[in-house]
Structure 1
Amino acid sequence: MNAIVSQAEFAQMVGVSEASISKRVSEGVLTRGENVHAWLVGYCEHLRDQAAGRIGETLGLDLVQERAGLAKAQREAQELKNAVARGEYAPIGILADVLGLASSAIVDRMDQFEGQVRKACPDLPQEVLLIVLRIMADARNEWIRSTSQLVNKEVEAMAQLDADETAALDIRAGSAEEGDAA
């Protein structure tokens, strides 16, 4: 184990190409002139680092962060599928369409109100009918205003949540970069 071997001999011992060992020597993983034992220790350490994701950062890859990001994306996708299956979630476009249809149905009914009241109560004084129609119009306008306000509030909350998540990711990425520099 204290013998000094050539790159070709060591490559044959560990079952890789001579070019692979030459690359490890040029990277500083293996040092020329060291014995077989030192090369085995260095080579195994390199393999452990590679398996743990600590190697590859020179290529712009961080295996641990990539795996964590993938796991997060998979978890979020599954949570979304579950929410859809439970009926707790629908795309904003569908919700807007449903809300539009519901609003349209209410407006249609309210527009028919005056004619139905005139048929049902032909003796109703005009002043009373105008008061009722004004109340109905106020209620319709308030309903539209409050619905729009709720939709805007929810859209802003979703945008803020996305911004907060992005900022948190930026902070985490920044601290990881600072840790790498230390």
Structure 2
Amino acid sequence: MNIIICPGMHERELTESFISGCLNLNSDSLTTNKSVNILVYPQQGVLTISPLHILQFLHNCLGDKLESPVIFISFSAGVVGAMLAAHSWQLLGGKVTAFIAIDGWGVPLWGDFPIHRMSHDYFTHWSSSLLGSGKYNFYAQPAVEHLSIWRSPQTIQGFAVKPTEEFYPKSDRISAAEFIHLLLRQYESK
């Protein structure tokens, strides 16, 4: 399983914190026995929204292994470039297993691959869903600052929701990191 991380316009340390707080590969709860290849898109600034540069990075990392499944995890401005890169990768014959958009407020999400939105508050969750939402999404409750959900997802509590239901599970809280782990476990067999 390949996971491509597409950060936003922020310090690299926040992405490193996200990876250590959420994608700790020493944790048995992330994967069973499959190897996980984490690819972190290295560009900063305006290049975080460039689908061409993201696609080139993905091609450089995976070469001609288009059949190798890719899960996109993107944050903030990085959601813009990542969404278009995911579509381009798929048009080239690549396999996009899932797309996770974290705080991609105002970014339309569409595709014939599973899409999940994660938001730092209910307003962002609600207003972003008007531009497309996935089958299973997350929002922080209580609300947190925008960068907090990326910096330390393991500490952010909230609710996993389906678009047709207000809360799912209705009474259970989950951390942002746990939500991502649930998704990755669901998709690791595909």
TM-score range, shorter chain: under 0.3
TM-score, length of structure 2 as denominator length: 0.19
Highest CA radius of gyration, 1 or 2? 1
The structure with higher relative contact order (CA 8 Å, sep 6+) is 2
Higher share of residues assigned strand: 2
